[in-house]
Copies of this chain bind each other. A is one copy, B any other.
């Protein structure tokens, strides 16, 4: 058994030195790990250092772990060498299923143990990626958000051949490494967050295509409209609050599809009792024992801080 305790991981190997792979390297370095980056292209080393150097000032502001240093990264084009002392592997190779299947088979042979391998894939399923590997039980999805050295979320789920213990290990490790692990109940293309983003993005493309809005108007409507709210509360809790004392149950019955189906090219699903109960139950768990006025006050307190910060940076960042 060569899989260490999640708290004892010392060396992380990042496979792929692109924006995501090198971004992961910067994250792990800032959290005090030794990092080896593998890329088959020797010229990727320069880009890797540029990405880590660009990220470092932000990571210093967020706070470095004891002993964290940019010097604790090394680059190699030798896959076997990069695996020798890996306690965890984060794979961020190009999004081609044939390439990933071969890569995972190679990783498997180069590292004949049960060290966990996490994949940054956005558009592939682990069940497909692991299909041609000898030891697929330690392979999990570990999908980050760009930039990986700042955004907390990592979506985690196993494939058909993944050992649930490997999924739980990954959840514990990512949390220990400063990430916010989101353990999914099942595989779905696009995972969770990218599915929501893609629905919005496709509506954006339809609106621009139909001259209903320009890209500038779209971005303004996000930054000055619902954007700041989404940094504080997710849509389920926000709309639960929008339902007033009646909460999500009132919200779903009040905003029936006939009212809003012309607001987007994606029609609402039928709002049946089962769906209402699932939404209500989830929102009540999210609310916990906090009253609606209490949550509204917390939302506003958080928004004030965000908006004050936004007013400072908006001229520069937007």
Q: Are B301 and A217 in contact (CB under 8 A)?
A: no
Which one of A3-11, A102-110, A112-120, A265-273 is at the interface?
Answer: A265-273
| CB-nearest residue of chain B to A55 | B300
Name the interface residues of A224-265: CB closer than 8 Å to any CB of B: 224-237, 239, 242, 244, 259-260, 262-265
What are 10 contact pairs spanning A and B, CB under 8 A? A147-B296, A153-B220, A192-B213, A201-B268, A202-B267, A203-B266, A215-B281, A219-B236, A298-B317, A302-B316
Cα–Cα, bound, A282→B215 (Å): 5
Cα–Cα, bound, A279→B212 (Å): 13
Does A58 count as interface, using CB distance less than 8 angstroms?
yes
Question: In the assembled complex, which residues on chain B have CB atoms less than 8 Å from the CB atom of A219?
Answer: 233-237, 286
Known: A150-B304, A186-B212, A199-B199. A180 touches B234 (CB 8 A): no
Does A155 count as interface, using CB distance less than 8 angstroms?
yes
Q: Are A224 and B180 in contact (CB under 8 A)?
A: yes
| CB-nearest residue of chain B to A59 | B304
Q: List the 3 closest pairs (A to B, CB-CB), nearest first.
A: A219-B234, A215-B282, A190-B263
Known: A123-B263, A216-B285. A207 touches B222 (CB 8 A): no
- 0/1 string, A116-147, CB within 8 A of B gives 1: 00000001000000000000000000000111
What copy number does this chain have within its complex? 2
Does A41 count as interface, using CB distance less than 8 angstroms?
no
Question: In the assembled complex, which residues on chain B have CB atoms less than 8 Å from the CB atom of A312?
Answer: 305
Does A99 count as interface, using CB distance less than 8 angstroms?
no
Cα–Cα, bound, A302→B227 (Å): 14
Question: In the assembled complex, which residues on chain B have CB atoms less than 8 Å from the CB atom of A204?
Answer: 196, 235-236
Question: In the assembled complex, which residues on chain B have CB atoms less than 8 Å from the CB atom of A32?
Answer: none
Q: Are B202 and A266 in contact (CB under 8 A)?
A: yes
